[in-house]
Amino acid sequence: MIKAEIITIGDEILYGQITDTNTQWISAELDKIGIKTVRKSSVGDTKEAILSILAEAQSRADIVLITGGLGPTKDDITKKTMCTYFGSSLEINQEALAEVTAFFAKRGRELTGLNLGQAEIPTNATYIRNAYGTAPAMWFEHENTVFVSMPGVPFEMKGIMKDTILPKLQAHFKTPFIYHKVIRTIGIGESFLAEMIEPWEDALPKHIGLAYLPSMGNVKLRLTGVGENEAQVAADVEAQFQLVLPTIQEFVYGFGDDEIEQVVGRLLKEKGLTVAVAESCTGGYLAHQFTKVAGSSTYFLGGVLAYANEVKVHPLGVKESTLAQFGAVSEETIIEMAQGVRTLCKASIGLATSGIAGPDGGSEEKPVGTIWIAIATETEVITKKLQLGGSREQNIHLTAVNLLNLVRKKLNVV
């Protein structure tokens, strides 16, 4: 087993002033290529703390990945401290200098003394290009341990990892071939899913592992095969996937990085359909799920934010009598909302939400979490009542996810 440690350097993370998204991403990427993270540590911008964690990590791991402390200001001491640790010194690297100079030139700025320092790397380091910023990354090999130092800015670090570090680690450690298949499910809880596929899971061959990755409203299943023969491993994993698929089919909405809103968008596009939304309790969140996808204007026309009852009546077209008799949170109202927005926006499909997201506004008959959703097409209306039990934020999110999943199911049989 190849063991890695991840070290984050910086007072802002240590004192909780900024969110560290780097370590999770790095460990997940390492896991994908069969490298196990054995420890993650955060230390502050002090020489003692950095020297101590470097020595400790080296004693435990084959790979030490370090982020942060590479900026041009005096707080950023990672590079200098690594020189101390390795007994090397800083010198201008010509490739780095050319990169930094070009980076500044492109932005019409001159390279000043402080930024010139960005082109310096320790004499025992291999220069690693950073195509996204001015601080280069560095690769060290020291007493059988590989050290990699990268800038802490997430998109720079991720770019460098993908461009260079991950392939270089695979080559250096001759990691076995790994094949992943991520199956995304929705509408079923982790424990129910686990129970449902238990016999299959128990019978998985030794070289294929299964992980459950749950998040709000959905559960990802990740099949991971390990082996020396690329084609064989891939075939084995795909065969296991085919075995389990019939059991879980109705809950599977996508694979890999698919999000439900992307899947629904793709289906709408493929079928040449358009959609409009009438949102009450989701208050814009449902539309945002559609419109955060680039290119969504092909199928998303718009809709009505029908928060107040007056807006439900006009322009949406819900009858005043319906609202008076059944209330805003009712099947009768949600049907008229979905049909109304479909007609108003001349869309193929009209969607609607109305409910009590909380924390206030509930009654004995309609407690917080009572939510109606609907889909109207030219020929029919599908409605569903949800009874959610989360916070306001969770109820809004789960309403949108449930409705998107209902649309997906509908489109799959159209």
Task: State which of positions 192-211 bind a second copy (CB under 8 A).
Answer: 211
Type of residue at 341: V
Q: Which is nearer to a second copy, 155 or 231 (CB)?
A: 155
Determine the interface stretch with a second copy among 135-143, 240-248, 259-267, 342-350 (rule: CB under 8 A).
342-350
Smallest distance from the beta carbon of 65 to a second copy, in angstroms?
12
Cα(139)–Cα(125) distance, integer angstroms: 6
One of 106, 174, 206, 346 touching a second copy (CB under 8 A): 346
Other Cβ atoms less than 10 A from the Cβ of 394: the count is 16
Q: What would the DSSP string read from start to end of 117-145?
A: GGGEEETTPEEE--TTSSS-EEEEEETTE
Q: Rounded to whole angstroms, how far apart are CA atoms 275 and 345?
A: 9
Closest separation between CB of residue 306 and a second copy, Å? 5
- Least CB distance from residue 75 to a second copy, whole Å? 13
Of the residues 45, 156, 279, 336, which one makes contact with a second copy according to CB under 8 A = 279
Residue 211 CB, shortest distance to a second copy, in Å, is: 7
Q: Which stretch binds a second copy (CB under 8 A): 87-95, 160-168, 239-247, 282-290?
A: 282-290
The site string for a second copy over 206-235 (x = CB under 8 A, - otherwise) reads -----x-x----------------------
Tell which residue, 257, 275, 276, has the closest CA to residue 267.
Answer: 275
- How many residues bind a second copy (CB under 8 A)? The answer is 73
Q: By rule CB under 8 A, what string of x and - marks binding of each residue 240-269 to a second copy?
A: ------------------------------
Q: Where does this chain touch a second copy (CB under 8 A) — which range of 126-134, 185-193, 232-240, 275-283?
A: 275-283
Distance, CA of 95 to CA of 226 (rounded, Å): 37
- 299 forms beta bridges with none
Beta pairing partners, 401: none
Task: Identify which of residues 127 and 283 has a Cβ nearer to a second copy in the complex.
Answer: 283
With CB under 8 A as the contact rule, the residue among 2, 9, 138, 304 that binds a second copy is 304
Identify residue 413 by its one-letter amino acid code: V
Non-local (6+) Cβ contacts of 398 within 8 A are 216, 217, 386, 388, 390
Choosing from 323, 396, 407, 411, the residue that interacts with a second copy (CB under 8 A) is 396
Query: In terms of C-beta distances under 8 Å and separation of at least 24 residues, what long-range contacts does 234-242 make, across chains too?
Result: 234/179, 236/205, 236/207, 236/208, 237/179, 237/180, 237/181, 237/208, 238/181, 240/200, 240/204, 240/205, 240/208, 241/181, 241/183
Q: How far is the CB of 124 from a second copy (least distance, A)?
A: 26
- Per CB under 8 A, the list member of 47, 109, 288, 385 interacting with a second copy is 288
30 versus 186: smaller Cβ distance to a second copy? 30
Site for a second copy in 20-79 (CB under 8 A): 20-21, 23-31, 36-44, 49, 53, 56
Q: Which of 104, 132, 241, 285 lies at the binding interface for a second copy (CB under 8 A)?
A: 285
Q: Of 315, 320, 363, 385, which lies in the binding site for a second copy, with binding defined by CB under 8 A?
A: 315
82 or 281: whose CB is closer to a second copy? 281
Residues whose CB falls within 8 Å of the CB of residue 409, separated by 6 or more in sequence, listed in order: 250
In sequence order, what are the beta bridge partners of 121?
91
Q: Rounded to an integer, what distance in angstroms lies between the CA atom of residue 332 and that of residue 350?
A: 15
